[in-house]
Amino acid sequence: MIKKKFISIAKEVISLEVKALQNLKKNLNNSFNNAVIEISKCQSKVILCGVGKSGLIASKIAATLASVGTPSFSISASEASHGDLGMVSKKDILILISNSGETSELKNVIQFAKRNKILLIGIVSKKDSILYKASDIKLLTPKVIEAGGIVPTSSTTTQLALGDALAIATMKKKKFDKMDFKKLHPAGSLGAQLKTVEDIMITGNKVPFVNENVLMGKALKILSDKKLGILIITNKKKKTCGIITDGQIRRFAQKKINFKSLPAKKIMTKKPVSIDKNELAAKALSIMNNKKITSLIVHNKKKPSVAIGVVHVHTILQSNIS
């Protein structure tokens, strides 16, 4: 019975927060559009500030904005009056977060913003509050019932959701895409999944290029030396005209055919599978899996007939790409 009681409490908390979010969604107005436009135009920093739980929400929203291309950080409202306001410049945007809008620590920050003509966006639930009245752009959160009655729950959920909405809408406005995201997230699993073929391809002297007229006896030595299991066959204009794999060599050997005196063009497979250098490495892996091959020739979209490198399945897997 006790366990069921806890589940009932959990459902009540979630229901209250869902209702708060539904009211937030219903009350969105043109002020939200104005905030997105101003944030996307900002040539400096977006600085968030709050007190207590709202301060923690401010930190999370700042981190989200920064991760999608808007330079942003948070400052503590209590520390702001002791020197941290020195990090705020006139070209910045200030986003202040407070459920009541009357938090005493925010008053000095509001005065600083007004004195220096800094654009002030307020996320607040009370229209008669100091923060609401002082804000240039007013983002009103709904009046909510806090789960448990004494600790910010539903109110901070609406603040966080509104911050996420601002970040994603701004991202769309700035046309921030996967490649932009990759630049800011080079590490971890996200960074790995956004690596391009160019990031991991094998280039230069490591690539086994062989002219189409080279005899296979010499070509076999190159195949052995480069250790990639393939030969990229080119013509006199350096254009790719075929590929030879170690699998093909084994099949010829099993048939006891004397192929070492044959030119590479007699052995090669024409029209080999290739991929543009700007494609995601994950796409290269998908192609290899579908074609049941272990390497892809890499080309530049402007010159698709000229190989510039090779991407190998082992390199992709070593980069934690799946």
Give the Å distances, CA to CA, from 209 to 25, 199, 237, 270.
59, 20, 13, 15
pLDDT score of 299? 92
CATH T-level assignment (fold) for domain 2-176? Rossmann fold (3.40.50)
Q: How far is the C-alpha of 145 from the C-alpha of 81, rounded, in Å?
A: 32
Mean pLDDT, contiguous 10-residue spans, the chain (322 residues): 80 95 96 97 94 94 93 87 83 95 90 93 96 97 91 96 97 84 67 82 90 90 88 91 87 78 88 90 90 89 89 84 72
- pLDDT tens, 107-133? 989 999 999 999 999 999 999 999 999
Domain boundaries, the chain: 2-176, 197-318
Q: Please check whether the two domains, 2-176 and 197-318, share a CATH topology.
A: no
pLDDT score of 321? 76
pLDDT score of 188? 65
CATH number of the domain located at residue range(s) 197-318 in this protein = 3.10.580.10
Q: Which residues contact 253 (CB under 8 A, 6 or more apart)?
A: none
Query: Do 81 and 135 form a contact (C-beta atoms < 8 A)?
Result: no
DSSP bridge pairs for 96: 49, 122
| Strand locations in 101-146 (E) | 119-124, 137-140
pLDDT score of 187? 62
The residue among 196, 166, 163, 164 whose CA lies nearest residue 178 is 196
